[in-house]
Amino acid sequence: KAGVTQTPRYLIKTRGQQVTLSCSPISGHRSVSWYQQTPGQGLQFLFEYFSETQRNKGNFPGRFSGRQFSNSRSEMNVSTLELGDSALYLCASSLEFSRAAATEAFFGQGTRLTVV
Amino acid sequence: AQKITQTQPGMFVQEKEAVTLDCTYDTSDQSYGLFWYKQPSSGEMIFLIYQGSYDEQNATEGRYSLNFQKARKSANLVISASQLGDSAMYFCAMREPRAAAGNMLTFGGGTRLMVKP
């Protein structure tokens, strides 16, 4: 069973540009969450998509957006990049939310974004 | 709001010895789930173990066990017989089983474990 695939693995962008990151979840998983990891702020939740709808959103500016396609693949977009957006962006794939179950999230290897 | 605290930024352990990584949490919910993840230098987050707040027994998965003390709001990870490959960052995380929260995880700051040969 293939794991979570994130592309690209590494990216260098210039301030002011925009970037799109891609995440392909595990087959059958309909929930995709995105996290930003930085040395200063740690791991922070960006948003979650479930069945093509954004279900939950973290405390990030509107420059951060995402979407999910009918095949559950997800993309996140960051517009007008700032130096502080340099981070490891992790995508997590989960089964449908269940109150009772240990719905662990399976993570991809991440996309390391550097803004110069 | 939830909060996860990992008070040990870094730890050393001798190969083959056991080590405990601390995690305390703060939530007003009665129902919640606690997770531990391992992050090697490659960046991928690897799921290790899960404990539900209503689980009466401590979770175990191979060399990993979770010392869950609900009244103290702590969920410490115990790794037995440490191996060199255990050197990594370890994160404690919580999920609220509310539909509005979905699958969102709140993470602690992490502990860097270094295993000495």
pLDDT digits (tens, 9 = 90+) for A2-11: 799 999 999 9
A 49-78: CB under 8 A from B: 50, 55-56, 58
More confident residue, B12 or B103: B12
pLDDT at A102: 57
Q: Rounded to whole angstroms, how far apart are CA atoms B78 and B52?
A: 17
Using CB atoms, which residue from A48, A100, A107 is nearest to B104? A48
Q: How does pLDDT run across B82-92, given as a tens digit for each residue?
A: 999 999 999 99
pLDDT at B1: 61
Using CB atoms, which residue from A31, A90, A112 is nearest to B103? A31
Q: How does pLDDT run across B16-47, given as a tens digit for each residue?
A: 999 999 999 998 888 888 999 999 998 889 99
**Which has the closest alpha carbon to A27: A68, A69, A73, A58?**
A73
The answer to whether the beta carbons of residues B90 and B79 sit under 8 Å apart is: no
Using an 8 Å CB-CB cutoff, list chain B residues near A43. Answer: 91, 107, 110
- Please, what is the average pLDDT of chain A? 92
The answer to whether the beta carbons of residues A71 and B13 sit under 8 Å apart is: no
Using an 8 Å CB-CB cutoff, list chain A residues near B33. Answer: 102-103
Report, as an integer, the average pLDDT of A33-60: 93
pLDDT at residue A105 is higher than 90: no
pLDDT at residue A101 is higher than 60: no
